[in-house]
A and B are shown apart, each in its own frame.
Chain A
Amino acid sequence: MKLFLQIVGLFALLLCVTLATLSLKHRGADGPSLLFPGGKLVSGELHQGADPDWSFTDQVGTIELETSNPVSSRRIFVMESGGKIYVGSAYMRSMLGRLWKDWAFDVEETGARNAVARIEGVRYERELVRVNDPKIVEGVARKSAMKYAGGATPEAVAQIMKQVADGDTWLFELAPRSR
């Protein structure tokens, strides 16, 4: 029994060391890692002028998204729908989600909506706008299911739409900055 507890204790210690080490390692870095947030997105050309045809993001698995209060960045899925691009934040009603997806709470609570998206090495200055309109959500859900859930079956689309309607998933448009 003592040995079992010692092994459990060792695993718990290594988990704590992992979280602390990787969090410190990536804090302030030019972009996030797979899981841990990074700092300000510095490298890469800053896009100027009109928005591109966002359909190219259909071939992009994840983008890097920097939010402004506090300045931090993370990897995130991206969905194009109707010529606009969207990002989502899931697990918003769970405790793990509260810890893991703190950026979305920060955006909603502080109103600091300015963001920078780095997509294939190019930075785009955007504004995060929460989306709840079912017509928009349906298009985004369809694209999300197609890209990330193995196909846009009616069941998959309906499930994503329900998650958004229930507040389990928050959806944001990466809109052009208004100022």
Chain B
Amino acid sequence: MSTSTYIKVCAGSAVVWALGLLFVSPFAQAVEGLLLLFLSTNAR
């Protein structure tokens, strides 16, 4: 993947991801659940 294409993919993904977190509650809750699982597994 060329650098310019990669930057476009990153920017697009970040925008879609952020909008999903802001406006799709089940998606945000699922992502938070995964983060919580990671923290409770690795915070030692």
Contacts and interface: CB of A to CB of B under 8 A. Distances in A.
Interface string B1-15: 100001001100110
Q: Which of the listed residues A2, A6, A18 has the most CB atoms from chain B within 10 Å of its own CB?
A: A18
Interface residues of B, number: 21
A19 to B, nearest CB: 8
Given A33-B32, A34-B36, A94-B44, A14 B14 contact: yes
A165 B13 CA distance: 46
5 tightest CB-CB pairs across the interface, nearest first? A96-B43, A91-B43, A34-B32, A21-B21, A35-B32
Interface string A79-98: 00000000000110010110
A13 interface: yes
A34 B31 CA distance: 10
B17 A6 contact: no
A3 interface: yes
Contacts of A97: 43
B1 A22 contact: no
